[in-house]
Structure 1
Amino acid sequence: MYLGENIPKLGFGFMRLPMIGRVVDIEQTKEMVDLFMSKGFSYFDSSWGYVGSEEAMKTSLVDRYPRESFQIATKCPAWVVKTEEEAKNMILASLKRIGVDYIDFYMFHNMGERRTKYFDDFGMWDYVQELKEKGLIRHMGFSIHDKADAIDKILTDHPEIEFVQFQLNYADWESSSIEARKCYEVSLKHNTPIVVMEPLKGGVLANPVDSVKRIFKEANPEASVASWGIRYAASLDNIITVLSGMSSIEQVRDNVSYMEHFKPLNEIERTVIEEAQKEFSKIVSIPCTSCEYCLEGCPQKINIPKVLDAYNQKMIHNDLLGAQHKYQFAIILDDLSGSGGKASDCTACGNCEEVCTQHINIIENMKTISDELETQDNNIIETFKAITEKQKN
């Protein structure tokens, strides 16, 4: 028996809610919550940093259902604030905004790389333990987009961690940048149960390239392509639940149709997934292994591996909008630390190409990426800073 074993294997991610302009469509969200709950599901995931999400959770769920009928998960992105007081106040703000007396699953949001240090410096580990003792938090965990070694170190340093949340899907299972399989194996090694995020890779695997889509449709014309991704993750051992960031009532209907009476993948279906994985491996992409040898010599401090990884979103999945968002987010994190540059800042000095173990034409790629991924009408960094200031207030 592990933590969350009896929780249904489909969770509702409150990050991609339906919108009317810039405001959450509360009436449709209520309809989605009602259908989700009526089918026996109960796990809802949010974050202090998802604008409008926690408030929508209160209105659509907490104010309308008995507290014992659902589980709330939310997160603290301590790395977006400057002081210990601000970081600790995030937890209290989440409790107030959601309108609950306790949070079932509380996470440090997006740990790894430079961000982990903020939680250490602000004394968040001891603080959350204190809140657990007071009954304000039931279970303590963290979400992460880093690699397996980072998860291993955090779980080794903090055995009090009760669960972990990371990206896992069939397309990223052997990815050198995501390391889904390795992250999964590390979690098993530490006997730490898992909440799966991005089982559909931000929606990309709900509508993959035609060659992959064809494999699934030939195997089962009646099943949605999305169902293969959700069921793949839910079929693994030690899974608390699999989050789906649903944006419409139609997506909820589809997900609950095959997860209400969930059946793990059988051997034939696993073979179909393997065929899809092989097809993904044929798709042309930039072969960066994220060794980071290129970083030290870059005079513009461009995070070359992250920039290349963002462009692969377009090359592999033909997802230009997703690639732009991924690129912008990478630039945000580096800019906020004062150490980042954009692809368009490249001076073509060639230092990176001299040390690249994969012999990638980085200079040419930087030019292509600046042309295709940098949008002129959206100062994403200033927008992010403005949102952060609004959240603090």
Structure 2
Amino acid sequence: MDLMKEKKFGFGCMRLPLLDKEDPASFDYDLINKLFDNYLENGFNYFDTAYTYHGYHGEEGVRKALVERHTRDSFKLATKLPLRDFKDSEDMEKIFNEQLNNSGVDYFDFYLLHNMGSNVYSKCEKYGAFDFAAKKKEEGKIKVVGMSFHDMPELLDEILSKYADKIDFVQLQINYVDWEQPNVQSRRCLEIANKYDKPVTVMEPCKGGTLINVPEEAEKLMKEYNPKASTASWALRFAASQKGVFRVLSGMNTMDQVNDNTSFMADFKPLNEEEMDIIERVTKIINDNTAIACTACEYCTHGCPKNIAIPKYFALYNSIMRTTGSFLSQMVYYNNIAIKNGKASECIGCKQCEKACPQHLPITTYLKDVTEKFEKNSIIPTRK
């Protein structure tokens, strides 16, 4: 399969629409069905989910909205082996069979080792995760093997130097803000993938929505150049313009998003030199206005002993840091969230969140900053 000839746009299923925001499995199937159908009708067919998405119900949600409603040859399904979750070689087999059942398919078109990094690499080597995926490919239960990677380029180089024959493609976080960020290094990681001739799928091209709701000054630059182009289109086109990228994923929650993204990705045109210059200026503006580079993936909350709503608190913190005015509304949100979740000050410093964070953020330090902003001289409601 020549991956570089694939359609360049995929549907990311990490943040599907919900009926209840507090229940990750309360899928709004009426809306999801329409979003999936519209995406397919526009000529695209790639859906990306994972075992851990939506509180371990993501595959089930995709099964009901996609697999049970469309013929198997009309879509391509990607899911992932949870590297933090499996215990040993037998457990990988158990999880894989569970995934087939969850998804309602006999094989996966694309299967990735999920969230590869220094925290799980030795475990993968010990229990043969690379060989496991290769074996499933030989059995015909996987068509294409990949690896989603969240770490430094040096580790990516090491892994590909050892297992290039077992990895068909790499999934990387690439966006214009993280292009040169030292904690992500999108550019360098992409260069390593290109070095080993591994096609790349892009995740987080909009950095968890950060590059959609950009500062007013940044949006003005984009609109002056092209009044009709959405901020999302700039982000997706930047990622898709890079050498070696064969697909860009986008999590879409509204019909407007599907219509917009499919419109410019159907006849994709790379960013030109002038647009790249604007991206550089926009990047500087965003970096100057962002205190915590969180993408709200929520990996940090899984297993938090104090049930702290870390991404929600960071979003509120970023919001108040972007303005010199009153932050009363953000304080109200903080207090409401703290009713059912741990407060930032309740962090015990176990740092399991930092080990799980794909962005390698010093979360426990940032939680102290959040505490200072939201809890000092503030009355926080008691949790029920």
- TM-score, normalised to structure 2, is 0.77
Partner of 1:386: none
Match of 2:298 in 1: none
Q: Note closer, same or farther for the CA distance 1:342–1:62 as it changes in structure 2 (3 Å cut).
A: closer
1-structure distance, mates of 2:381, 2:84: 27
Q: Quick one: distance in 2 between partners of 1:372 and 1:132?
A: 51
Displacement over 6 Å in runs of 4+ = 310-313, 373-379
CA distance in 1, matches of 2:363, 2:290: 24
Q: Which amino acid aligns with 2:30?
A: E
Q: Quick check: 259-268 or 152-161, which moved more?
A: 259-268
Aligned counterpart in structure 1 of residue 251 of structure 2, from 242, 245, 251: 245
Change (3 A) 1:334 1:280: closer
How many angstroms does 1:54 deviate by? 0.9
Trace 1:75-154 onto structure 2 (pairs within 5 A): 75-154=80-159
Listed as ranges, the matches of 1:25-40 within 5 Å are 25-40=28-43
1:135 to 1:85, Cα distance in 2 relative to 1, 3 A: same
Q: CA RMSD in A?
A: 3.3
Pair 1:174–1:98, CA change in 2 (3 A): same
Contact 1:3 1:193 in 2 (8 A): no
- Structure 2 distance, partners of 1:371, 1:311, is 15
Matched residue, 2:306: none
Tell me the residue number matched to 1:356.
none
CA apart distance, 1:64 = 2.1
Q: 1:205 aligns with which of 201, 211, 221?
A: 211
Correspondence list, 1:349-364, <5 A: none
Deviates more, 1:36-45 or 1:244-253: 244-253
Higher mean Cα deviation, 35-44 or 267-276? 267-276
Residue number in structure 2 paired with 1:42: 45
CA deviation digits over 1:182-238, x for unaligned, max 9? Answer: 111111111111000000000110111222112111111111111100111111221
What residue identity is the alignment partner of 1:62?
V
The answer (yes or no) to whether the contact 2:16–2:32 under 8 Å persists in 1 is yes
Structure 2 counterpart SS, 1:47: coil
Contact 2:292 2:318 in 1 (8 A): no
Alignment of 1:2-17 (within 5 A): 3-17=2-16
CA deviations 1:260-283 (Å, max 9, x no partner) are 222111222222212212333544
Which secondary structure state, in structure 1, belongs to the residue aligned with residue 113 of structure 2? strand
* Residues in 2 aligned to 1:70 and 1:317: alpha-carbon distance in whole angstroms: 43
Give, in whole Å, the separation in 1 of the partners of 2:150 and 2:49: 16
Query: 1:131 Cα shift?
Result: 1.2
Paired residue type of 2:116: M
Residues of 2 paired with 1:117 and 1:165: CA distance? 20
The structure-2 alpha-carbon separation of the partners of 1:286 and 1:264, relative to structure 1 and needing over 3 Å to count, comes to: closer
Counterparts in 2 of 1:376 and 1:203: CA distance versus 1, 3 Å: farther
Q: How many residues align?
A: 330
Deviations along 1:286-327, one digit per CA (max 9) or x if unpaired, are 89xxxxxxxxxxxxxxxxxx99xx799828985989xx99x9
Indicate if the aligned counterparts of 2:83 and 2:116 stay in contact, CA closer than 8 A. Answer: no
Classify the secondary structure of the residue corresponding to 2:143.
strand
1:67 aligns with 2:78: no
**Which structure 2 segments of 5+ residues have no match?**
294-309, 324-329, 357-361
1:210-249 matched pairs, under 5 angstroms = 210-249=216-255
Deviates more, 1:254-263 or 1:19-28: 254-263
Are the equivalent residues in 2 in contact too, given 1:17–1:248 (CA < 8 A)? no
TM-score calculated relative to the size of structure 1: 0.75
Q: Secondary structure at the match of 1:257?
A: helix
